[in-house]
Structure 1
């Protein structure tokens, strides 16, 4: 197998390797929640010491991908010619797990991230790569009108200031009426930890994550930003196996504990 060397990735773009590490490790398990041969190949090909940087892999990002997969699978079943926009996609290989013959996929990420992505994943007429920040909302200009749209942001919004998140949602609400948007979020205590300087391992300091929010504050906060949202729904995150599985069901139903955990939320914009 040919080894692919990386440029000196730092900051938020480097986090694509963190998520790849966890997702590929989950996909490698016989009882894993996702099957992702391409992620495994990319993981093995890149010349990067994942465990030195991020520590032992866990199931978190594999489960997150499975949740987003389920959302998009249902969307494509209802809208086979739908448009999927993945913001901050990095090395996510979702389209290979879910693609339909009529859908259009837009992958939006920073230029250095797109450059790494294109070593392994080729853009084409139905799978576009847009090298720009998710906050550069010119990407919306590339969304054709008249088709159902689902936008995702996995592991992205926490790296923005709250004002930037609010601005992005308002812009999407105004320009993508009727679209769905799913994103994950972290609690405030974890955000504050990163702002103080969180060394995940002795060799890797996570980028700052300015936007943190308790789960019970998500809906009122989003309503404050976009009052006419048609839907706000929390998506359950459940451990895939072992003793943690029943425990995660229990913990998620204890309000004081639940609000301290990361979460995934789906909204639908009005109109359309």
Structure 2
């Protein structure tokens, strides 16, 4: 972990930089509230060590409202992760496309858990300068679409696989192949991920993969069984701002709003 300011614009392409910084910025912004949902002070600390154009990010991301898109999604995945680790305190956790997420640090995980964070080599190089690897926590530098890295992950324990904010950026065939490789490699466990409404992949070209509902995933992989779906607005009562809380409360009543972003929990 480095103590100096890090200029990520010299290390990443513009699209990757904006995705990483944007998510980190929104989590850090949300963490500064006394009523924070994620309480992700690791994100705030990491952001302070990065050189970035704060006014440009604020104009592009509109954090006053959009912070909750990231916080509510993260809250659901944190809740499912904690529940899994309560049931399996000696589990293996694999977070693919981890970006600059601090879940391995901010959650109170049992001491015997093995946790692996995987992302592209340039991203992991930045992670290593922002976050420390602690006991039972490893970072893997590889593309999720590569074949070799999975052999290094032991498969002798119940395994939780987390893919937050990843699949919409992948090609459909890459998602299906990845899910097959993961479910074939590990004996038993759960898969958590989020997906966007199909119309977003048609109008926002950076997004590629989407599907109608979780049963499409089941039909393409006979080891995966859908257990829960959770729209991003499920945790709207946690929003402290009365106006924004009311917006999410009303929006949650409408299917089009709820399906904007949905998290899924599968078992295998």
TM over 0.5, yes or no? yes
Contact residue 215 and residue 226 of structure 2 kept, 8 A: no
The CA deviation at 1:124 is: 4.9
TM-score (norm 2): 0.86
Q: For 1:263, what is the secondary structure of its paired residue?
A: strand
Preserved contact between residue 108 and residue 139 of structure 1 (Cα < 8 Å): no
Q: Deviations along 1:168-205, whole A, 9 cap, x unmatched?
A: 1122222223221111111122112222xxxxxxxxxx
Cα distance in 2 for partners of 1:33, 1:104 equals 26
Give the structure 2 partner of residue 103 of structure 1: 113
Closer, same or farther: CA 59–258 of 1 in aligned 2, 3 Å = closer
Unaligned runs of 5+ in 2: none
Q: Secondary structure at the match of 2:77?
A: helix
- The structure whose residues are more often helix, as a share, is 2
2:129 alignment partner, SS class: coil
Query: Counterparts of 1:49 and 1:163 in 2: how far apart (Å)?
Result: 36
Name the residue aligned to 2:79: 70
* Residue 26 (structure 1) aligns with: 30
Distance 1:35 1:266 in 2: 23
164, 171, 190: which one pairs with 2:200? 190
In the other structure, the counterpart of 1:9 is 12
- Classify 1:88/1:246 alpha carbon distance in 2 versus 1 (closer, same or farther; 3 Å): same
Structure 1 runs of 4+ off > 6 angstroms?
none
Is residue 233 of structure 2 the alignment partner of residue 233 of structure 1?
Answer: no
Root-mean-square deviation (CA, aligned residues, Å) is: 2.1
Aligned to 2:252: 252
Structure 2 CA distance for aligned equivalents of residues 126 and 45 of structure 1: 25
Which of 126, 129, 147 in structure 1 is aligned with 2:157? 147
Q: Is the 8 A contact 1:18 1:50 kept in 2?
A: no
